[in-house]
Every structure is written in structure tokens, then in C-alpha cells.
């Protein structure tokens, strides 16, 4: 469900925005507020009662704001039996782990853009972390899927 508008990494291939034609990282048809997302889930479950998983993967990073956590809390209160999963770049995973567990999140996918800091600098223009704006090869916290970036990650 598209509930996370913020991101703490600016990837060079990502163009965050909203439209109905493009299908690329960071682009969504729209953005849902947490309560709206629960309403959409409710409608989906009426149409397809076999749904067992609810996931959030953007359009920004799920942990860069509280939107995903707020959504998962509401979903968990109403549908504790559903598997809750999210995708994140992992920068705030340590800080948000307890909140995720409390919201019933059991499955987390951590994306990894690169294992080498020089390659990461080719892929990401900047990172925002703990109020700092970080560019270039300065930051190496080791975030863990992969987005294909021809010419940049081919040797990994």
C-alpha cells in the first residue's frame, strides 16, 4: 500500500512522484493516509477473502516517516491474523525495530543498492540521516533486494 511519501536516500534512478502512467521506483498512482489504507484493505478483503499478506513498500522508504508504522498499527488492531511485511532501505531499521514488532510486522525486506561505498556514491546522490545531509562516499552503514543499475553494480 502506498503510504510512505518520505525517503532518506536520494537514488539517482528514483524519481518520487505521482502519476498513472509510469512504473518505476518511487512513482505511485497516489498516496494513502493510514486510515484510508485500512479502508482499501477492507475493500480488498471483501473482494478477495484469501488475502493473507499486507505490505508497504513506498513510494518512499517505509521507515523515513511514521506513516507505515501508523498504518501497520491500525491494520494489526483490525486484522491481527494478516501477515504484515515491508520493504526498507534499512537506514532506520535499528531505531524502529521495536515499533515494527509492536505493530505486528513479521517480514522485512531490506534493499541493498551496493556493497562497495564507491559504487553506492554512483547510485545515490545523498542520504539524510539523523538530521545530517550526507553526500558522496562519506556514509557507510551497510544497508541490505537490488535494483538493477546498469554500469554501476555489474561487478558486484
Q: Block means of pLDDT (10 residues each) for the chain, length 156 residues?
A: 84 63 55 94 96 90 93 97 93 92 94 75 76 65 42 48
- What are the residues whose beta carbons fall under 8 Å from the beta carbon of 30, sequence distance 6 or more? 2, 18
Radius of gyration of the chain (CA): 16
Supply the pLDDT for residue 137.
Answer: 56
Query: What pLDDT is stored for residue 143 in this prediction?
Result: 42
Strand (E) or helix (H) holding 17:
strand 17-18
* Phi, psi values for residue 51, rounded to 5°: -60, 130
Can you give the pLDDT at residue 84? 97
- Looking from the CA of 128 toward its CB, the CA atoms found within 13 Å total 10
Residue 17 confidence (pLDDT)? 58
A 10 A CB-CB count for 15 gives 11
Q: According to the model, what pLDDT value does residue 135 have? A: 73
Per-state percent for the chain, helix, strand, coil, to nearest 5: 30, 25, 50
Amino acid at each position: 500500500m502506498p503510504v510512505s511519501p518520505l525517503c532518506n536516500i536520494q537514488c539517482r534512478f528514483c524519481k518520487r512522484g505521482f502519476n498513472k502512467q509510469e512504473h518505476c521506483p518511487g512513482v505511485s498512482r497516489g498516496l494513502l493516509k493510514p486510515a484510508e489504507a485500512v479502508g482499501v484493505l477492507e475493500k480488498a478483503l471483501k473482494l478477495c477473502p484469501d488475502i493473507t499478506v499486507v505490505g508497504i513498500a513506498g513510494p518512499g522508504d517505509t521507515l523515513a516517516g511514521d506513516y507505515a508504522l501508523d498504518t501497520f498499527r491500525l491494520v494489526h488492531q483490525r486484522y491481527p491474523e494478516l501477515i504484515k511485511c515491508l520493504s526498507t532501505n534499512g537506514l532506520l531499521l535499528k531505531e524502529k525495530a521495536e515499533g515494527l514488532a509492536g505493530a505486528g510486522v513479521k517480514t522485512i525486506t531490506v534493499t541493498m543498492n551496493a556493497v562497495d561505498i564507491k559504487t553506492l556514491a554512483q547510485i545515490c546522490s545523498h542520504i539524510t540521516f539523523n538530521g545530517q545531509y550526507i553526500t558522496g562516499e562519506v556514509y557507510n552503514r551497510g544497508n541490505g533486494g537490488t535494483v538493477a543499475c546498469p554500469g554501476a553494480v555489474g561487478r558486484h
